[in-house]
Amino acid sequence: SLKKKFNMNADQFRQRGKELIDYIADYLENMEIHRVTPNVEPGYLKPLLPKDAPHQSEEWETIFQDFKEKILPGVTHWQHPRFHAYFPAGNSYPSILGELLSAGLGTVGFSWAASPSCTELETIVLDWLGRMLNLPKSLLPEPSAKQDFTQTDINGNSFAHNLNGQSATQNSQLKGGGVILGSASECVLVSLLSARNCTLRKLKSEHPFVEDGHLLSKLVMYTSKLAHSCVEKAGMIAMVKIRILEPDDNYSLRGDTLDKAISSDISNGLVPFFVSCTLGTTSCCSFDNLVEIGPICGREDIYLHVDAAYAGSALVCEELRFFSNGLEVKDKFKLTEALSVDPIYLRYKEMDKAIDYRHWGIALSRRFRSLKIWFTLRSYGVEGIQKYIREHVRLAKFFEKLILSDDRFEILGKVTLGLVCFRLKGPNFLSQNLLFELNDSGLIHMVPSMLGHKYVIRLCVNSERATENDMGEAWKIIRLFADSVIEKYELENGKLFSKECSQSALKLKRMRFSLSKMASDPKSYNQKKFMRTPTIFDVTGKYLAKKCSFVQDDEEES
């Protein structure tokens, strides 16, 4: 008998690769045939797959058929035109091809020697990106006197630049640079760990006989209540105290709020050392006031981190740069110093002339991610990316007008980029029931947020191919289900906006749901009593929806 082949050979790879490219293109071009979210329950997949991995190799046709029949039905389609949850996943044909090439090369670029082009391309594309976004020159990778040639940044400033990003004599004061990390969460954590390291070293030099643990217990960081939960998680990992500060009426963290908290903590013997601000919060795309906060951090020698994971890309458009005032760099060398570990097996003779990005993050192993950026920037060009972002902003404004055309709805927060936060006027449970029914339908997908004590529904323009027709279809679906939710309520309770309310309605108005940010980001603050139940009730006690967690509070909802 013929001996069975255990590995896919080059000819098979060519065939299956072409088939897979066709499949991906067909999938992306015909997304509307799918439900936005899968109609499955947790644990659906386990009984469909074997308990153990196969002992012998299987045919590709069998493997891929199982993907289509068992895996795909459990996929949430993030590129669907009616996927309006979270923020855009940033998918495109050039980036997919860059990902494919990166996987094919199989590079692990933890140092320049491990793959010179992997390191150098990362420096170059991040310099491109920084100048596209009009970042301050101090944030850009350092120019070099070696192999130098004159370039002009987006502000018209001339500087020398080389592939490795080392310092040039004419620009020796620049302290910037960039690195590609795995997520915004990792960026926050790396910044925090670096700031903690530098602060502890300084404290240790001032108090050499005090134990490290005691010094660590004095450190305190600050962030807004609307900051992403990854900031609080980073504080937990770093084992430092965290102060959650209230934003103002425009959902922005202000300087006076931070200043008061810092003064209070200093008077109590604590050491403020880190502030995390957000440009484009997850909850409502609000912007912390860097112009006020930056000088306070400078005065108190506090490290300032700016999370612009969503809104940052909008800086490529000149008219959207209003929120970037106050950006500045502390010192990249503090970052690399904090995470630098140099075992002998990672050293090489050129290391004093090159960047090693392993010192700029937690992970040692690094993929060739810069290829994706390089392919994307060259394929779209700056104009193409500007057009992409401006269209999302335009469509969000278009959807805002649709919402405002129906006086049953209201919008909370300013529609600045591609996010619209809206709700049904009245008690929170109306908007919550509306969202539950919308998501259960599979026709559209959105997630909630809490702004103050009001439960809102977030609609973010995510799809690259989104059109006005898609916004109109989303509005049609929302209005249809809103009619149903309101009708159910009014059949049993009379006119929705009547001044008369039953005792049970008043009690329900005092419930604040523990969804302070998003369904994927459940955090609530100042909880008095936490209650988890598999159901939610309307004012008559009738079961309306499932999977609700809420906090009972003495404060009434609007």
CA-based nearest residue to 313, from 392, 237, 375? 392
Asked if residues 298 and 253 have their Cβ atoms less than 8 Å apart, the reply is: no
d(CA 93, CA 91): 7
Structure tokens that stand for 331 in this block? 């010192």
The structure tokens 């191919």 sit at 465
Asked if residues 91 and 462 have their Cβ atoms less than 8 Å apart, the reply is: no
Distances 321 to 159, 402, 515 between C-alpha atoms, Å: 23, 27, 31
- Give me the phi and psi of 97, to 5 degrees please: -70, -35
* Segment (H or E) for 25: helix 10-29
pLDDT at residue number 527: 34
Residues with pLDDT less than 50, the chain: 1-3, 144-174, 498-558
CA-based nearest residue to 32, from 355, 442, 384? 442
Q: Which CATH architecture has domain 107-141+174-367?
A: 3-Layer(aba) Sandwich (3.40)
d(CA 521, CA 151): 43
Give the domain ranges of the chain: 8-37+76-89+388-520, 107-141+174-367
Quick count: other Cβ atoms within 10 Å of Cβ 446?
24
**Mind listing the pLDDT tens digit for each residue in 274-319?**
999 999 999 999 999 999 999 999 999 999 999 999 999 999 999 9
d(CA 331, CA 206): 21
Task: Look up the pTM and report it.
Answer: 0.80
The structure tokens 């902003």 sit at 393
Name the E strands within 120-238.
Answer: 150-152, 158-160, 219-224
pLDDT at residue number 6: 61
CA-based nearest residue to 144, from 172, 115, 176? 172
Quick count: other Cβ atoms within 10 Å of Cβ 136?
16
Q: Which CATH superfamily is domain 8-37+76-89+388-520 in?
A: Aspartate Aminotransferase, domain 1 (3.90.1150.10)
Cβ within 8 Å of residue 360, ≥6 positions away: 177, 179, 181, 190, 335, 336, 339
